[in-house]
Chains A and B, each alone.
Chain A
Amino acid sequence: MKNLRALFSLLLLSQVAFAQGNITGNMETVFQYLNEDSIINAKQPVQKGLMNSYMNVFYTQGNFKAGMRFESYLPRIQGYPNRFDGTGIGMRYVGYQNDFVDVTLGTFYEQFGTGLALRTYEDRNLGYDNLLDGMRIVLRPGKGFVVKGVYGTQRLSFQQGQIVHGAGLVRGTDAEWHLNEGLDFLKDKKLDVVLGASFVSKFQEDDNPDWILPQNVGAYGGRVKLTYGNFYADGEFIQKEQDPSSDNQYIYNYGHAAIFNLRYTKKGLGILLSGKSVDNMSFRSDRTKDLQDVLINFLPSLNKTHTYNLVATLYPYATQPMGEVAYQADLLYTFKKGSQLGGKYGTTVGLNYSTTYRPEQTLNGIDLNDSSRVIYHTRPFALSDSLYWQDINFNITKKINKQWSGIFSYYDIKINNDVVKVSDAKGIIHARIAVLEGTYKINAHHALRWELQGMWVQRNDEGINDKGDWATALVEYTISPGWFFSAMNQYNYGNDDLSKRVNYPIITCGYIKDATRLTFSYGRQRAGLFCVGGVCRPVPANNGLMINLTHSF
């Protein structure tokens, strides 16, 4: 009888759903069939075939909302975090929202300010998902004023088709006020002001026999955004209380994260200067975890996200949560159409510089033998002379005529591998990369695009540092709107180890119909770091067939 009632309510619900509600969602399936390839050290898994799938379904009707995601790892594809298996529901919620209140019960993704205190998000390509499971309320009591409250436990992993939660509890509240929307006398003023403040606290039982650990740890701070005509400035500062964890080797220092941006923009020109300071700021709802597990906050790395494969996946940089000071300058300028440098269609030039150092830490007044376990002092934005990262790059984008257009890019990258550990190399790896890309539009539907990339790695006293020089060539033929075919080869021609001077050829073809996309790839893929937003996942070398299907509805 109980089952029947459930069935009946389901029928009723489905009727309501189909009659009036709005359903959106998407799905993705990735299938890999892998070969053994001893030259690139690619292993064939015992199952031979691997498959990841997921589907999101979101339903809204009037003020009511509900959603869920099914996930399936049979088993997970190569390079994906090893904590995923089975088929089941990885995300689900119900909620209600109107102009004043927005309540969600179940799982949710949330970001306070720039995320330095709290950000839960997902990236299915990376296998990253630190969602909160519990309750969220968002209130809009007045124009331009938003107050949020969150309470829940985090998703740690997904095993046997079920969410596995982290050990700790996360609570937080955030308020943001856009003054110009809220206050009438500021409405049409040139100066635009947004103020915000957050407080986040985590609870985890102290089960450590050696130390008295704080069971409740808070992180709090404020932010401001100012716009005045073409000028813009923003900044956020978050302080974290004593949070002994395996990340910081159970020290009792406070931590901080600060970020600021200064910008000037007008038609045809954009200039940005950013700075960031981080110290002892790994903030997790389980103090014993590492890597990408149950992170409560988000510490973006301050550099450009590159897309060409050599520069994107060999030497990417991710934030060092234990401490770093970083700066970035970014400029984009378009020479006008008809000017000498602009030509018929205009020419765009981009310049970007980013650098990151270890913070300065002093031991004045520190007694390492006392019981405080405060082991150094530091100040925001105080930097030492130890370089972690530097990237100087520029690009020129030019449309020559109706058929031809091209981009030239150059990058000069230094990465401190003792800290970042992207490979086995020691010390600073210094790489220079040049990329030339061209597109030839054959007619209204057919186009040919190609890329030539070279990477040259600086020799040091012991010879070549890391894998040496690389070259990549790519050709892509597209037939709008439905088809594309591409072939790419990467060649590690400069490797000191002659047996590792390997070619990595791969061919891909794809078919797109509206919101459905199906691609097939076959070939070798180099081991590398796959990064999104400064979070990286190492992907091992592989050889085989990959089929990818995505659809939105």
Chain B
Amino acid sequence: MKIQNMKKLFLLLLVGSLSLTVNAQEPTVETSLSQKKVPAVKLVDMSGKSINTSDLTANGPVIISFWATWCAPCKKELNTIHEVYEDWVAETGVTLVAIAIDDEKTKSQVPVYVNGKAWDYTVLMDPNWDFKRAMGVNNVPHTFLVDKNGNIVYSHNNYAPGDEEKLYQELLKLSEK
């Protein structure tokens, strides 16, 4: 009995360690940040239409920017990009998706701000932070650059004037590929 158990044990360990070695070789190909994909969460836009976040990249690369009406640096970032957005779209085919993490207290102010500032972004509402949590966002602003296959290729938490340049460089790298 004991010997049988030992045999089983040995077999288990063998298979186990094999699986580990297979493991150890495979990921080197894709264990970079780019392996992280946009998780599928169902959100609604400002008019109530539902959208699956894993479908966002259907038309090319996407910038996903988490923001809130009460977040001053977030608004500064999105207002700065707003000034050059037309050029970015023309050059790279990018779409900016602004994820508003305002909860019910300030959610109704989101369309007021978005329209008041004449933004052309796709705006999605994430009032209970389902997408924020799934994307691993600690605090806003947090901006992600996603290629057309849904891989996250760059992300930056914070905004300081000039950060948009770095994002633009990363975007250009992506569209050259």
The chain A residues found within 8 Å of chain B, CB to CB, are: 1, 4-5, 7-8, 11-12, 14-15, 18-19, 22-26, 28, 56, 58, 60, 97, 109-111, 114-115, 119, 121-122, 125, 144, 178, 181, 192, 194, 225, 227, 232, 234, 259, 261, 263, 265-272, 274, 298, 300-307, 330-334, 345, 348, 350, 439, 441, 444-447, 478-481, 484, 510, 512, 514-517, 533-534, 550-553
Residues B106 and A480 in contact, CB atoms below 8 Å apart: no
Pairs of residues from A and B, 5 with the lowest C-beta to C-beta distance, nearest first: A332-B116, A480-B162, A270-B112, A478-B160, A26-B136
With A272-B108, A300-B105, A334-B118 known as contacts, the answer to whether A111 contacts B127 (CB < 8 A) is yes
Asked if B109 lies at the interface with its beta carbon under 8 angstroms from chain A, I say: yes
Closest B residue to A194 by beta carbon equals B48
Overall SS of chain A's interface:
strand
Contact of A115 among B9, B26, B104 (CB under 8 A): B104
Residues B130 and A269 in contact, CB atoms below 8 Å apart: no
Measured between alpha carbons, how far is A333 from B113 in the docked complex, in Å?
A: 9
Contact of B117 among A301, A332, A515 (CB under 8 A): A332
Q: Please give 4 more A-B residue pairs, beta carbons under 8 A apart, in addition to A7-B16, A266-B115.
A: A111-B127, A261-B108, A274-B108, A552-B136
Contact of A305 among B16, B69, B162 (CB under 8 A): B69
Residues B22 and A15 in contact, CB atoms below 8 Å apart: yes
Asked if B166 lies at the interface with its beta carbon under 8 angstroms from chain A, I say: yes
Residues A15 and B118 in contact, CB atoms below 8 Å apart: no
Offer 23 A-B interface pairs, CB within 8 angstroms, sorted by A.
A22-B35, A23-B36, A26-B136, A26-B137, A56-B136, A58-B39, A58-B133, A60-B39, A265-B114, A270-B112, A272-B109, A307-B72, A447-B161, A478-B160, A480-B165, A481-B160, A481-B166, A514-B154, A514-B155, A515-B142, A551-B138, A552-B142, A552-B157
Task: List residues of chain B with CB within 8 A of the CB of A272.
Answer: 108-109, 111-112
Task: List residues of chain B with CB within 8 A of the CB of A345.
Answer: 83
Residues B16 and A8 in contact, CB atoms below 8 Å apart: yes
Asked if B148 lies at the interface with its beta carbon under 8 angstroms from chain A, I say: no
Task: List residues of chain A with CB within 8 A of the CB of B71.
Answer: 307
Closest B residue to A553 by beta carbon equals B136
Closest A residue to B26 by beta carbon equals A19
Closest A residue to B155 by beta carbon equals A515
With A24-B39, A305-B105 known as contacts, the answer to whether A332 contacts B113 (CB < 8 A) is yes
Residues B138 and A18 in contact, CB atoms below 8 Å apart: no
Residues A192 and B19 in contact, CB atoms below 8 Å apart: no
Task: List residues of chain B with CB within 8 A of the CB of A181.
Answer: 49-50
Task: List residues of chain A with CB within 8 A of the CB of B13.
Answer: 4
Residues A18 and B23 in contact, CB atoms below 8 Å apart: yes
Task: List residues of chain B with CB within 8 A of the CB of A263.
Answer: 108, 111-112
Closest A residue to B165 by beta carbon equals A444
Number of interface residues of B (CB under 8 A): 66
Residues A478 and B118 in contact, CB atoms below 8 Å apart: no
Count A-B pairs with CB separation below 8 Å.
220
With A19-B23, A515-B157 known as contacts, the answer to whether A533 contacts B50 (CB < 8 A) is no
Instruction: Give, as a whole number of angstroms, the nearest-CB distance from B172 to chain A.
Output: 15
0 or 1 for each of B121-156: is its CB under 8 Å from A? (1 = yes): 000000111100111111100100000000000111
Contact of A552 among B5, B48, B127, B135 (CB under 8 A): B135
Residues B128 and A109 in contact, CB atoms below 8 Å apart: yes
Measured between alpha carbons, how far is A302 from B103 in the docked complex, in Å?
A: 12
Residues B129 and A121 in contact, CB atoms below 8 Å apart: yes
Task: List residues of chain B with CB within 8 A of the CB of A552.
Answer: 135-138, 142, 155, 157
Measured between alpha carbons, how far is A494 from B41 in the docked complex, in Å?
A: 51
Residues A109 and B23 in contact, CB atoms below 8 Å apart: no
Instruction: Give, as a whole number of angstroms, the nearest-CB distance from A539 to chain B.
Output: 17
Instruction: Give, as a whole number of angstroms, the nearest-CB distance from B58 to chain A.
Output: 16
Asked if B86 lies at the interface with its beta carbon under 8 angstroms from chain A, I say: no
Residues B162 and A144 in contact, CB atoms below 8 Å apart: no
Instruction: Give, as a whole number of angstroms, the nearest-CB distance from A123 to chain B.
Output: 8
With A15-B22, A22-B37, A60-B39 known as contacts, the answer to whether A334 contacts B155 (CB < 8 A) is no
With A268-B115, A331-B112, A552-B137 known as contacts, the answer to whether A444 contacts B162 (CB < 8 A) is yes
Contact of B135 among A24, A232, A334 (CB under 8 A): A24
